[in-house]
A and B are shown apart, each in its own frame.
Chain A
């Protein structure tokens, strides 16, 4: 699924610490996922309007993100606020980074360019335990088929636990699956490890299959 089509899982919430940024790719589009020091997550196009540098290489300062190249700073609305080489300049409103809608639910950061898409609903967002994001060298549909998922995000039962699998199509041959254990009670570390290893086995299975095919 592309960002224009609906809500795409782009990271585990726990992977994006406050004051940090990370690059990601959705169906070939580069995005930056960052969290300001106040804890709010942002998802933008990963390109500084100045020289096209990826903003995910930059750094977060409070509720601004700064480009690594020349330090241009953007506020939470994507508006450029400060250009170090011209400290007294009132920055024109036209210098703005395109941004996506963002939501955090079930311990996952979701993003979309669609104005009316509905967030996936797997019941009350009451409890979750993050497992991991696993990057797999195969197409997104291969992950869905292998696990029998009804759509790009679905809940399945794995070894007695309720596992949310949220699939992010990276490129035509790369996929990222974000895994979260659902349930009001926090799952013990041993279960997190169990499912992290399950994810490694899933990756192995899918990559071995695609080599044969």
Chain B
């Protein structure tokens, strides 16, 4: 199998979710940088031919073209993580991971949009987006508070999964759009665990402490 091609943008949070998994999996791709800001290349014919939805990232592999961040994460886990560390096979564990993956796509959409609004002047009501972002983080913080009582550091199971990788960037980048971390102590602890993962990489806005 040839290695996949990843169409991405350095400052795009969704692209980073995929780059992070690839790094943890030690999986090489051919990266193609797409000028999202200011170029909006993802909405121009060349990229629309690959992904009519006009979103990033896009993954091309062996004639298959994938879009949608959760779909790409799941595909890469199936293709490159045969042990199922990041996407467990057993129904109960699988169900928990994909539930949080769904959360990352839907409940965190306002957080995603809040950042685009703050950094790239994308449309949106900044206050309303921040409020909904905080509500999503609160759900996550409540969940991790209960998990910590059981000595668990991760959203599901006893190791990092796709759930953690898909949820991490929105919270780690929240200061970009004016949401502080002080109200979410369980998430503060959790992002330190994510940062300590072997193969962890940063993106602009997520400082490298070393």
Q: How large is the interface on B (under 10, 10 to 19, 20 to 34, 35 or more residues)?
A: 10 to 19
Residue of A12, A132, A170, A176 with highest tally of chain B CB at under 10 A: A132
Which residues of chain A in 1-24 are interfacial with respect to chain B, using CB atoms and an 8 Å cutoff? 11-12, 15, 17, 20, 22-24
Q: Is A22's CB under 8 angstroms from B185's CB?
A: yes
Which residues of chain B in 106-162 are interfacial with respect to chain A, using CB atoms and an 8 Å cutoff? 138, 142, 145-146, 149-150
Q: Is A59's CB under 8 angstroms from B149's CB?
A: no
Q: Which residues of B contact A17 (CB under 8 A)?
A: 189, 192
Q: Which residues of B contact A68 (CB under 8 A)?
A: 207
Q: Does B182 contact A (CB under 8 A)?
A: yes
Q: Is A12's CB under 8 angstroms from B146's CB?
A: no
Q: Is B182's CB under 8 angstroms from A22's CB?
A: yes
Contacts A57-B207, A193-B149, A196-B149 known; A15 to B188 CB distance under 8 Å?
Answer: yes
- In whole Å, how far is B56's beta carbon from the nearest beta carbon of chain A? 27
Q: Does A112 contact B (CB under 8 A)?
A: no
When the two chains form the complex, which single residue of A15, A59, A189, A193 contacts B185, counting CB atoms closer than 8 Å? A15
Q: Is B145's CB under 8 angstroms from A189's CB?
A: no
**For the complex, would chain B's binding face be called helix, strand, loop or mixed by DSSP majority?**
helix
Q: How far is the CA of A12 from the CA of B188 in the complex (A)?
A: 13
Q: Which residues of A contact B142 (CB under 8 A)?
A: 196, 200
Q: How far is the CA of A200 from the CA of B192 in the complex (A)?
A: 24
- A174 closest partner in B (C-beta): B183
Q: How far is the CA of A174 from the CA of B138 in the complex (A)?
A: 14
Q: Is B185's CB under 8 angstroms from A12's CB?
A: yes
Q: Which residues of A contact B181 (CB under 8 A)?
A: 22-23
- How many pairs, one residue from A and one from B, have CB atoms within 8 Å of each other in the complex? 45
Q: Does A25 contact B (CB under 8 A)?
A: yes
Q: How far is the CA of A169 from the CA of B186 in the complex (A)?
A: 20
**For the complex, would chain A's binding face be called helix, strand, loop or mixed by DSSP majority?**
strand
Against A, the Cβ 8 Å flags (1 = close, 0 = not) of B152-187 are 000000000000000000000001000011111110
- In whole Å, how far is A143's beta carbon from the nearest beta carbon of chain B? 14
Q: How large is the interface on A (under 10, 10 to 19, 20 to 34, 35 or more residues)?
A: 20 to 34
Which residues of chain A in 164-207 are interfacial with respect to chain B, using CB atoms and an 8 Å cutoff? 170, 174, 176, 189, 192-193, 196, 200
- A137 closest partner in B (C-beta): B134
Q: Which residues of A contact B180 (CB under 8 A)?
A: 23, 25
Q: Does A79 contact B (CB under 8 A)?
A: no
- In whole Å, how far is A203's beta carbon from the nearest beta carbon of chain B? 9
Against A, the Cβ 8 Å flags (1 = close, 0 = not) of B177-210 are 0001111111011001000000000000001010
Q: How far is the CA of A59 from the CA of B192 in the complex (A)?
A: 12
Q: Is A23's CB under 8 angstroms from B182's CB?
A: yes
- In whole Å, how far is B183's beta carbon from the nearest beta carbon of chain A? 4
Q: How far is the CA of A154 from the CA of B11 in the complex (A)?
A: 47
Q: Is A22's CB under 8 angstroms from B207's CB?
A: no
Q: Is A132's CB under 8 angstroms from B207's CB?
A: no
Given pairs A25-B182, A196-B146, 19 additional interface contacts (CB within 8 A): A11-B185, A15-B185, A15-B188, A15-B189, A17-B192, A22-B181, A57-B175, A68-B207, A132-B145, A133-B185, A135-B138, A135-B182, A135-B184, A189-B150, A192-B149, A193-B146, A196-B142, A196-B145, A196-B149
Residues of A within 8 A of B (CB): 11-12, 15, 17, 20, 22-25, 57, 59, 68, 132-133, 135, 170, 174, 176, 189, 192-193, 196, 200
